Amino acid sequence: MRKHVAWLETQLREWVRDEIITEGQARNLRSRYPENAAALPWTLILFSSLGAVIFGLGVILLFAYNWHAIPKFGKLAIVFGALAAAHGAGLWFHQRSTRFRGLGEGLTVLGTMLYGAGIWLVAQIYHIQEHYPNAFLFWALGALALAWALPSVAQALVAAVLLTVWSGCEGLGFRSPLPLAPVLLLATLAPLMLRLRSRVLLAVLVPATVLTCIFSQTGYPGGGEAVFGLVLNLGVLLLALGRVAAAGKLFPEAASILGLYGWLAFLIPTYVLTFPNAAEDLLNLREGHPFAPLAYWLVSLLLALGAWVVRGHQALAAGDTPESPRAHDLLLVPLTALLAAVWLLTGVADDWLAAAPFNLALLALALGMMARGCRGGALRPTVIGCLLLVALAAARYADLFHSLLARGLVFLLVGATVIAEGVLYARGRRRRGAAEGLT
């Protein structure tokens, strides 16, 4: 954001100098983009946090070297003293002025790392060997409290990672699934993310939520099929949320991040479902399938379809314009999730019968994106569509086209399509440039 504001300020000075706008108009334009005082540069957050983490680990190792020579209360004094010093210094710098706020935040992150180290060190002092995932939970709650109190993106990142680790330890280590873990994660961090408009936090929160959703189901024996469907549905949901965010005012900057994760979570499972053996295995619910993963899958499907309905209303209201043509091809995304749901519930006897619709859906999506990209001169759908088409052709090389003739023809067709796409994209780009020049 600061980069854009700096560019704007430079441009405003030139426009005023060239008498394109007046001084007053320049001030009005500048005032439309106030810098968020709580929004730290991501580099400062990243380096401060990374430095704090590594410093914290170094402290642990140094003390571990001399640990046994120190008496018990000496050890406790070091633990509490270090914690108080880091937080005290961090808060002093944080409250002192805006200029030192980043340093203060880094020190409080160090304090939180020392708090986590303190949990393990107190456990060592008293030879405590309890249910260790609880340590991650308490550590996360400590980070969460400071994330809200300061507020702090760095603390929120620590809390997100720790809650994910906690959920993973319970689900994978103890086969004790926590169905409410993703809800806890979102309920405690999503509002903070929206309040701070933090893309960094969103970029961590999305995969953390997906992972906790997966971990919350892994504790149930034999629940794999529903977990796979859950990931696909989450991808569909994220794509819808991305497009809703892009067209809305609440947090439009979230669109690219939601879109990136959405495409990953949607395309990978869909691509896997184009393989006949995988589709037959993953789209058949075993007898006695545990209820909780099914419930999770169903809820995620309803949320995903609901989000696309909202997006549909939004798109209809906005209308179809040359600058923002409707992406009809993207309707294939929720339709794919619906198809997977039907197959999962009814069961599929034949492997190619299971996989064929996903092959067709992915092919249609690839061609649709290529066409949309070429028409509007938009690079992203052009490239994604092309990559999808090539990946699909490569996948079917081994299992569908058995003769060299068939393989050769398919490659000729795909190659010609990609060449044509390049030509059409260039034309579309020129058309778009000309239209933007006229307006």
Partner 1 sequence: MKKSWLIVAAVILQVAVLAYMAGERELIVRTGETVWLRTAPVDPQDLFRGDYVRLSYDLSTIPRSAWRGQLAQRVEAVERKGWRGRAPLQEEPVYVALKQGESGTMELDFVADERPAHGPFLRGRIESVWGSALRVRYGLEAYFVEQGKGLELERGRSRDGIQVPLEMEVAVGRHGTAVLRGHRWCPLGIGIDLQQERKDNANWLHAATVTLLNASAQPLAIVDLPGLRSLTLDPAGEGWWGSPGNGWRWVGRGSEPPPPLTDAAVKVLQPGEKHAWRVEFKDAAWFVAKPGEAHRSLEQLNEWSARFRLVYRPPPAAACQHLREAERIWHGTLATRAFGAGGID
* Binding status of residue 176 toward partner 1 by CB under 8 A: yes
- At its nearest, how many Å lie between partner 1 and the CB of residue 42? 23
Do 392 and 274 form a contact (C-beta atoms < 8 A)? Answer: yes
Q: Length of the chain, please?
A: 439
Residue number with CB closer to partner 1 (63 or 401): 63
* Binding status of residue 111 toward partner 1 by CB under 8 A: yes
- At its nearest, how many Å lie between partner 1 and the CB of residue 86? 10
Q: How far apart, in whole angstroms, are the C-alpha atoms of residue 330 and residue 327? A: 6
Q: How far apart, in whole angstroms, are the C-alpha atoms of residue 257 and residue 161? A: 18
Span near partner 1 by CB under 8 A; candidates 33-41, 144-152, 352-360, 381-389 = 144-152
* Binding status of residue 129 toward partner 1 by CB under 8 A: yes
Contact residue for partner 1 among 45, 60, 159, 214 (CB under 8 A) = 60
- At its nearest, how many Å lie between partner 1 and the CB of residue 128? 6
Contact residue for partner 1 among 6, 54, 149, 187 (CB under 8 A) = 149
Q: How far apart, in whole angstroms, are the C-alpha atoms of residue 43 and residue 51? A: 12
Contact residue for partner 1 among 14, 18, 130, 323 (CB under 8 A) = 130
Residue number with CB closer to partner 1 (15 or 120): 120
- At its nearest, how many Å lie between partner 1 and the CB of residue 227? 17
Quote the radius of gyration of the chain (alpha carbons, Å).
26
Residue number with CB closer to partner 1 (8 or 76): 76
Do 30 and 12 form a contact (C-beta atoms < 8 A)? Answer: yes
Phi-psi map region of 405: left, alpha, beta (phi>0 left; psi -120 to 50 alpha): alpha
Contact residue for partner 1 among 68, 97, 99, 287 (CB under 8 A) = 68
Contact residue for partner 1 among 118, 269, 293, 373 (CB under 8 A) = 118
* Binding status of residue 17 toward partner 1 by CB under 8 A: no
Residue number with CB closer to partner 1 (123 or 418): 123
- At its nearest, how many Å lie between partner 1 and the CB of residue 79? 7
* Binding status of residue 244 toward partner 1 by CB under 8 A: no
Contact residue for partner 1 among 138, 251, 271, 411 (CB under 8 A) = 138
* Binding status of residue 67 toward partner 1 by CB under 8 A: yes
Contact residue for partner 1 among 33, 47, 174, 291 (CB under 8 A) = 174
- At its nearest, how many Å lie between partner 1 and the CB of residue 228? 20
Do 307 and 240 form a contact (C-beta atoms < 8 A)? Answer: yes
Contact residue for partner 1 among 120, 263, 271, 397 (CB under 8 A) = 120
Q: What residue type is assigned to position 427 of the chain?
A: R
Binding site for partner 1 (CB under 8 A): 57, 60-61, 64-65, 67-69, 76, 79-80, 83-84, 87, 91, 94-95, 111-112, 115, 118-131, 138, 141-142, 145-146, 148-150, 174-176, 219, 221-222
